[in-house]
Amino acid sequence: MRWFESGIGYQIYPQSFLDTNGDGIGDMRGIIQKLDYFCELGVTFLWIGPIYQSPQDDGGYDISDFYHVDPRYGSDQDLKELLAKAHQKGLRILLDLVMNHSSDQHPWFLESRESVDNPKRDYYIWRKGKNGGPPNNWESFFSESAWQYDKLTDMYYMKIFSAHMPDLNWANPEVRQEMFALAKYWLDLGVDGFRLDAISHLSRDESFRDSRKRADATGFVPDWSKFSNRPKVFEYLKDFRHQVLDNRDVLAVGEVGGGASVGLARKFSDPLDGGFDLVFTFDHCWQNDSFGNDTKEDQKFEVQVDKLKAVFDRWYRGMHQDRMLVVYWLNHDHPRVLSQYGDTGVYRKESAKMLANTLYFLYGTPFIYQGEEIGMSNVTYQKISDFRDVSAQNYYKSAKDRLSKAQILKFLQRTSRINARTPMQWDDGEHAGFTTGSPWVKVNDNYLKVNVKDQMADPDSIWHHYQKVLTLRKEPKIRKAIIHGKLKWLHLRHPDIFAYSKITDELTLTVISNFRNREIEFPLGEYREIHCHNYPDLLIRNHKIVLRPYESVVVFA
C-alpha cells in the first residue's frame, strides 16, 4: 500500500490559516507553528494552496513567478524550513501546481503580448476577434467571455478563468517542457507531491469554432467540453508522468472536477493514460441543488440524501477494484459543508460529527478542509464588496441587471467560495486569533462560539470527534475494513438516512447517520461495540433504533 492510501490529508488555504507578522494574511510561519496541531488531530499530509509570487487576482492561482514564494507568505527559506520540520514530524507536504495558466504579470505574458512575432507569443493562445467581439462564444468559468481583448496587438487571448489569468498554450512543446521542469524543481526540493490545478483543461477544441449550445444570461455559452477532458490532455499527462513523476514516491492528485464521469476519472488515473494517483471530482458537492439556482431564493435547499448516496455508490463501484478514491466534503472553492448538508443552529455539533462519521469510513483517502474539524460555517456578509473573490465579483456584474441586490446577496451567502476562505478561527480573541492586524477578509462572526481553543479543551467537541474518527481509521482492522472491506449499503434509497457497512472476515463496521433534524426509526442489526456516537446513548424502540436529529453512530459486529 502506498503512503497516501492509508494517509489522512488536510487542506490549508494559506492566506486564511494563521498570520504571524500582523499583515492580515496567513503565512508560512503560521503553518510551521501549527505542525504539532496537525499531528495531534491525526493528519498525515498537507495540501497547501498556491504560495508562489502572485498579484492575487484569484487567490494566488494567478502566478507571476512559479519558482518563488510570494513575500506575503514568507521566503523561499521558510518553505524549506516548513518541508524539513514537517518531514521530521512525519508529515508530508503537497503543493498546488498550477500549469493551465499564469498571471498576466508573468514575464512570459508581458513578452507574449508585445508583438505577434515575439518568441513568447506562442506561449499563450492568441486569436483575432470576430464581428467586433471575441473569437468565439465560449464562456469562462467566471461568468464572462473566455477571451480577453488586448489592444497592443488588437487580438484576444484565451483565459478560461479570470481576465488576469491567460491560459498557457500546451500545444506548444516548449510550454510543456517549462512546466515539466517546474514540477521537477519542486520535487527535487523535497515536496511530496502535488494537487494539480485545473488539469483537465490543458487542451482546447483547436478549431475554436462557436459552441452550438445555448448562451446563458451572460450572453456566452458555458460549454466546458470545448476545453475540458479533450484527447490531447491525456497525451500531455502521459508525458508528464514519464518525465516528471516516474520513479518518485510522490502523490499526484488531479483536479479533474466537474463533468468528469467515472470513465474519464479512470482514464485520468490510468497509469498508461493520465497517470494520476488520485483524482478530485465534484459530484457529491452540490446535492442540495443550490448551485446555479440564483432565482429560487425561497426554496429550501435540503440535501438529497438518496442522490448523495447514489453518487458515492457510483464512484465506489467504478473505482474500488483498482483505484483509490478521495473522500472530502469541501475545498476552498465551495461553501461550508455544515451549511450545505448539516445544521448551523441547535444541532451544529451533532450534525458536524454526523458528517465526519458518514464520510470518513467510506473507501478513500480523506482530505479535511481547514476549519471543518471545528464545524466552521458560511458567512453572512451583508455587502457584496465583502465577497473578496473574483468569481463572486464577476457573478455580481453578470447578474446585477436581472436580479435584485438582495437576491444576489442570498445566492452568494449560500454558494460563494468565500465561505470556505474566511480566516481560521483559532480562539475567541480579536479576529479569532488569526491575526493581530486587520484580516484580508472578514472573520466569521461566530468565532466566539466556534473556535479551536474552546474545542480542544472540550472532550465532547467536534474537534475531538474528528480526532477520534481519524484515530479509529488508523487501527489496522478498521483500515482494512475501509480499504479492502466490501461496501454494503443499508437501504440505499432511504431519503433521509445514510447507512452502510464495510465488511471483512474480521469485522463488520456499520455507520448509520440521520441527515434530518427530526426523529427517524431505522432497523439496527447485531452489534458488539459502539463508536463515534454523537448522542450519549442509543434509543431503541420496537427493535428499531430511533435516530434523533442528526444522530450518527459507528457500530462493530
Query: Which residues are annotated as catalytic?
Result: 197, 255
Q: For ligand NOJ, which is the closer residue by CB, 98 or 472? A: 98
CB-nearer residue toward ligand NOJ: 332 or 336: 332
Q: Judged by CB under 6 A, does residue 333 bind ligand NOJ?
A: yes
Window contacting ligand NOJ (CB under 6 A); options: 53-61, 78-86, 308-316, 418-426: 53-61
d(CA 13, CA 15): 6
How near is the Cβ of 61 to ligand NOJ at its closest, in Å?
Answer: 3
Query: What is the rounded CA–CA span in Å between residue 118 and residue 108?
Result: 10
Query: Rule CB under 6 A: is residue 57 a binding residue for ligand NOJ?
Result: no
Backbone angles phi, psi at 132, to 5 degrees: 75, 10
| 3-class DSSP state of 328 | coil
Backbone Cα Rg of the chain? 23
Task: From 266, 349, 377, 296, select the one nearest 535 (Cα to Cα).
Answer: 349
What's the rounded Cα separation, in Å, for the pair 397 and 393?
6
Residue number with CB closer to ligand NOJ (285 or 509): 285
The three-class DSSP label of residue 282 is coil
Q: Check binding of 313 to ligand NOJ (CB under 6 A).
A: no
Site string for ligand NOJ, 75-114 (x = CB under 6 A): -----------------------x----------------
Strands of the sheet containing 147-150, edge to edge, are 126-127, 155-158, 147-150
C-beta atoms surrounding 448 within 10 Å: 12
Binding residue for ligand NOJ (CB under 6 A) from 27, 167, 197, 551?
Answer: 197
Between 98 and 374, CB nearer to ligand NOJ: 98
Angle at 458 between CA 457 and CA 461, to 5 degrees: 125
- Asked if residue 279 binds ligand NOJ (CB under 6 A), the reply is no
Give least dist CB 378 to ligand NOJ, A: 17
CB of 234 to ligand NOJ, least distance (A): 20
Handedness of CA 511, 513, 519, 520 (dihedral sign): negative
399, 453 contact by CB (below 8 A): no
If one asks whether residue 58 binds ligand NOJ (CB under 6 A), the answer comes out as: yes
Q: Which stretch binds ligand NOJ (CB under 6 A): 31-39, 55-63, 353-361, 435-443?
A: 55-63
Beta strands in 118-231 (DSSP E): 126-127, 147-150, 155-158, 193-197
Residue 376 or 547: which CB sits closer to ligand NOJ?
Answer: 376
The three grid cell numbers given for residue 3, joined into one nine-digit string: 503512503
CB of 259 to ligand NOJ, least distance (A): 14
Please check whether residue 523 is in contact with residue 546, taking contact to mean a CB–CB distance below 8 angstroms. Answer: no
φ/ψ (deg, to 5) at 98: -110, 105
User: Helix H segments across 458-531?
Assistant: 462-474, 476-484
When binding is defined by CB under 6 A, the residue of 38, 47, 61, 126 that contacts ligand NOJ is 61
Task: Determine if 198 is a binding residue for ligand NOJ (CB under 6 A).
Answer: yes
Q: Is 167 in the site for ligand NOJ (CB under 6 A)?
A: no
Closer CB to ligand NOJ, 331 or 451, in the complex: 331
Applying CB under 6 A, the residues found at the interface with ligand NOJ are 58-59, 61, 98, 161, 197-198, 255, 332-333
